[in-house]
Structure 1
């Protein structure tokens, strides 16, 4: 049985992992927008930006599954959890 301090530490670690994922996602979006801009500005007939977009995208998806789990992405009871979350905000 976990005491309150252990539960707090576990929850804090989970939140830190989720925060790290969102930072990773933000960097992915910003960098890939830049790569798309560079590729289209210096267009030589090759759309090379798609390769880092897809490669890094695989990493983003695997990071999401590792942090959020496969069931939290619209899994069981997702809709109920979202409704409860937004009701608690008000």
Structure 2
């Protein structure tokens, strides 16, 4: 049971690491789409004031912090997390129950992510409808709703990508399993 428990802990740790890396790469890909879109919006709507520099600076600060969290501080965080997990496991009487609970929580998280995407999709459709109506009612000479629709579509794409899209690009379960096994081999 102890070997099985250790293998399970290594697997959970490796799976968490793979999720962190995927999150960073999603953020990195978004860097090539969202900041240029912000520049475009700024130059089309208020070319006299270049606010996009503030947005780009904030975006890159966020990207650097995300990189540091995923790659720069990974060893420190891994050691701390392993220590805390061992403390929890020592306090837990039935370790198999704890493992089942972890699987349940992981499955529940995935279901909530999927549900969150569909809620986002529904709210986005409603928001686009309202924005188009407001635009056509109050400013019929300038179709600003296209900017909002483009931004909403980009946000929906990245939300979809985070929930479903990795499979489509070869970073799905097979890639995850391969990376998890690599991390397990390094940690063993």
Verify same fold: TM over 0.5: yes
Match of 1:71 among 157, 167, 184: 167
Work out whether 1:15 is the aligned partner of 2:105: no
CA distance in 1, matches of 2:165, 2:105: 19
2:125 maps to what in 1?
29
CA distance in 2, matches of 1:30, 1:70: 27
CA distance in 1, matches of 2:140, 2:111: 44
Question: Displaced runs of 4+ in structure 1, greater than 6 A?
Answer: none
TM-score, scaled relative to structure 2: 0.35
Deviation at 1:42, TM superposition (A): 2.2
The 3-state SS of whatever aligns with 2:163 is: helix
Residue ranges of structure 2 left out of the alignment (5+ in a row): 1-7, 13-98, 169-188
Bigger proportion of residues as helix: 2
Farther off after superposition, 11-20 or 37-46: 37-46
2:150 maps to what in 1?
54
RMSD of the alignment, in Å?
A: 2.2
Residue ranges of structure 1 left out of the alignment (5+ in a row): 73-90
Number of equivalent positions: 74
The 3-state SS of whatever aligns with 2:167 is: coil
